[in-house]
Structure 1
Amino acid sequence: MPRLILFNKPHGVLSQFSGAPAGSGETLRDFIPWPDVYPAGRLDKDSEGLLLLTDDGQLQHRISHPRHKAWKTYWVQVEGEPQASQLARLSQGVLLKDGPTLPARVRALPEPDLWPRDPPIRFRQSIPTAWIEIAIHEGRNRQVRRMTAEVGLPTLRLVRVAIGDWRLERLRPGEHRVLSLESPSIPRRAIPVPRGSRPPRGS
């Protein structure tokens, strides 16, 4: 039976189990005790939030490949006060060095109730900040950060809160939840697992 793991990746953690250069920081191996699971997609080291892992290759491909158009939703703290024209540009798609982005779902967001980031964001006292929600279904490198920078709203903090129908919900940084799936789209049971727990014998 396929297994899917929802993980709240903390800031500074690499989205890989091995191959990280010495001194590069924590990896998934420091948080995920389940054997033979692999990330379905990635999150940059300096981004936080939902990362999906699975032991099913077909499910991994369905989640991560842009052809399947799984919407990925981010809460983004930006420098500056977003104007309607800037949000419109983001929603219509912006021109990056590697080509135009597809249209996105964008809206202004009240400051969300999130955990404090470690290390804290460095603010510039004279410049306000704001939050926006951006949903995309592409998978370019650092795409959301590049999009906001292109319209004059540099990203200060980026948290992924959903991939398709899977949501971060109440997972704290470093925690994961295990879903045993009867099919790739139907959750059978969800088991919250705190950091440091080991898989049950026989898993």
Structure 2
Amino acid sequence: MDKIPRHFKLYKPCGIISQLNSNCSRELRKKKFLNELFDFPEGVMPIGRLDEKSEGLLLLTTDGKLSDDINRSGVEKEYYAQLDGEITNEAEALLEKGVAIGFEGKRYLTKACKICKLSALPILPEADKKLRIGRHRPTSWISIT
């Protein structure tokens, strides 16, 4: 008989990597992982990822098929992003087409997306002070799908 799958939702704070652990001893010494936040049961895996320097809702499951289905099926995911400064129409158009980013010395092109400037602030927990957004100039919020 199969075990009943378990599902979790977790508000991932800034500074935590969206994985439970690492096989790299160097990473284990320098980084923080999800298993430091909660004693998850064996077999739990995150569905998707959030950047280390971001925070937000992260879904986890013991159901590998569900995780794979969500990650491979093209299910749209919506993210709210607070920007340092006001976003311009030109910047929105560039983001929608995909932009070049650098990570660990490699260049990548982000996928095309839908951008919508939010007219009202989203209701979210207070942001981590390390993010330092909005201290010296205006910010804007966008939805990225």
C-alpha deviation, 1:82, in angstroms: 1.6
Q: AA paired with 1:32?
A: F
Per the alignment, residue 68 of structure 2 pairs with 61
Q: AA paired with 1:94?
A: G
Which one has a larger percent strand, Structure 1 or Structure 2?
1
Match of 2:84 among 64, 79, 82: 79
Taking every aligned residue pair, what percent have the same amino acid on both sides? Answer: 35
Matched position secondary structure for 2:67:
helix
Question: Is 1:47 paired with 2:57?
Answer: no
The two structures have a TM-score, normalised by structure 2, of: 0.75
Per the alignment, residue 176 of structure 1 pairs with none
Matched position secondary structure for 2:122:
coil
Q: AA paired with 1:50?
A: L
Q: In 2, distance between residues paired with 1:98 and 1:37?
A: 29
Per the alignment, residue 8 of structure 1 pairs with 11
Question: Is 1:118 paired with 2:128?
Answer: yes
Q: In 2, distance between residues paired with 1:8 and 1:117?
A: 12
Per the alignment, residue 22 of structure 1 pairs with 29
Structure 2 unmatched runs, 5+: 101-106
Structure 1 unmatched runs, 5+: 136-203
* 1:9-29, Cα deviation, whole Å (9 max, x unpaired): 11112222222421423x211
Alignment of structure 1 residues 94-109 onto 2, 5 Å: 94-96=98-100, 97-99=107-109, 101-102=111-112, 104-109=113-118
Q: Cα RMSD over matched residues?
A: 2.1
Higher relative contact order (CA 8 A, sep 6+): 1
Alignment of structure 1 residues 45-194 onto 2, 5 Å: 45-65=52-72, 68-91=73-96, 93-96=97-100, 97-99=107-109, 101-102=111-112, 104-109=113-118, 110-122=120-132, 123=134, 125=136, 127-135=137-145
Matched position secondary structure for 2:49:
coil
Which one has a larger percent helix, Structure 1 or Structure 2?
2
